């Protein structure tokens, strides 16, 4: 029987527990290699591309529209979201993702220009992504 030894520097890993995982961003050369292997080109400005795709999805996808317009933050979806159940990170939940999209959509709206962050508008940046 093996025992995991916890130290101040190394948290104990438990099977299925991802709560200690830190975000990891692949190196740019790795991303380019992966894209080239499947014949895809990287967009010149990835953040602009992602923001554009979020806007397109919110405008054209009925399911996305419904989630963004109907979610009342009741937390019922949290217990059914495998990512949230595992890591308990509200930003990696249906509510967190919807809030991210709403904040990005508001960032270019008239309300953002007038009221800014008071209405929850935030531009998409590397940290938020």
Q: Is the pLDDT of residue 90 over 50?
A: yes
Task: Name the percent of the chain lying above pLDDT 90.
Answer: 3
pLDDT band with cut points at 50, 70 and 90 for residue 23 = low
Q: Is the pLDDT of residue 67 over 50?
A: yes
Q: Which helix (H) or strand (E) holds 70?
A: helix 62-70
Report the first-to-last Cα separation within the chain, whole angstroms: 42
Q: Is the pLDDT of residue 1 over 50?
A: no
Torsion 20-25-29-33 (CA) sign? positive
Q: In the numeric block, which tokens belong to residue 44?
A: 């010149």
């Amino acid at each position: 029987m093996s025992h995991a030894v916890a130290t101040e520097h190394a948290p104990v890993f438990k099977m299925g527990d991802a709560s200690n995982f830190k975000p990891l961003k692949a190196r740019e050369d790795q991303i380019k290699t992966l894209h080239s292997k499947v014949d895809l080109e990287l967009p010149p400005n990835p953040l602009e591309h992602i923001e554009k795709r979020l806007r397109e999805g919110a405008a054209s996808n009925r399911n996305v529209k419904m989630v963004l317009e109907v979610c009342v933050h009741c937390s019922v979806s949290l217990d059914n979201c495998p990512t949230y159940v595992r890591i308990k990170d509200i930003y990696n939940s249906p509510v967190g993702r919807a809030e991210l999209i709403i904040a990005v959509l508001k960032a270019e709206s008239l309300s953002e220009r007038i009221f800014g962050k008071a209405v929850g508008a935030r531009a998409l940046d590397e940290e938020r992504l």
